[in-house]
Amino acid sequence: MQTARPAPPETPTHAALAAALADLALGVDASELHGSLTGYLCAGGSTGADDWLDRLALEPADEATAAHPLLRVLHASAVAQFASDPPRPQPLLPAANAPLEQRAEALVEWCRGFLGGYGLAGALASVEPSAVAADVLSDFGTIAGSHFDYDDEAEDARAFADVLEFVRDATALLHRESRRRTLTVGRVH
């Protein structure tokens, strides 16, 4: 008889995390923080619930900040998204009923954070990424530097959904490549 695995922790909402970050004066946007943590973990960086802010080069005001329950849940849910098979990365964005402009800007921030976290993990320091991974990272850079124009609501919503799906799939692809690289070269950090 198999033992049931515990359900992964639920990711905090964008609104709840944004409010907590404002209270904690951490100086980072909710989507960017989640993207940074996701990128770091995706690239093979290891971190615990107590040290992940330090690993991302964020300086909490005090130890209570790092121990904030919502930040612990965020860490646990980010780790869990890569523990599933296949991995199911999901960028932290405002609720689906939020204006498209807010969701798109949050995705830009998430990609910006992802690239920073990915780089901090040192994934690119020892082994060159595959051509596909290099293209994905370049595409993330393009998204991170984007400014969107909004002309046709239905078309814009479809385009956003396509970009979001690309980001999810590309993050899973980068994680698979990082795992292969880690097994070949040795553990990153």
Which range, 119-123, 166-170, 173-177, has the best average confidence (pLDDT)? Answer: 166-170
Q: Using pLDDT thresholds of 50, 70 and 90, give the confidence band for residue 189.
A: very low
Residue 188: per-residue pLDDT: 46
Nearest-angstrom CA–CA distance, 80 and 131: 28
Nearest-angstrom CA–CA distance, 104 and 158: 12
Q: Using pLDDT thresholds of 50, 70 and 90, give the confidence band for residue 18.
A: very high
The topology under which CATH files domain 14-185 is Four Helix Bundle (Hemerythrin (Met), subunit A) (1.20.120)
Residue 68 scores a pLDDT above 70: yes
110-to-39, 62, 68, 182, 185 alpha-carbon distances in Å:
9, 25, 21, 24, 28
Which range, 55-64, 103-112, 125-134, has the best average confidence (pLDDT)? Answer: 103-112
Phi, psi dihedrals of residue 35, rounded to the nearest 5°: -60, -40
Residue 184 scores a pLDDT above 70: no
Nearest-angstrom CA–CA distance, 150 and 28: 26
Contact status, residue 146 vs residue 108, Cβ threshold 8 Å:
yes
More confident residue, 23 or 141: 141
Which range, 4-13, 150-159, 175-184, has the best average confidence (pLDDT)? Answer: 150-159
Report the Cα 76 to chain-centroid distance in Å: 13
Domain boundaries, the chain: 14-185
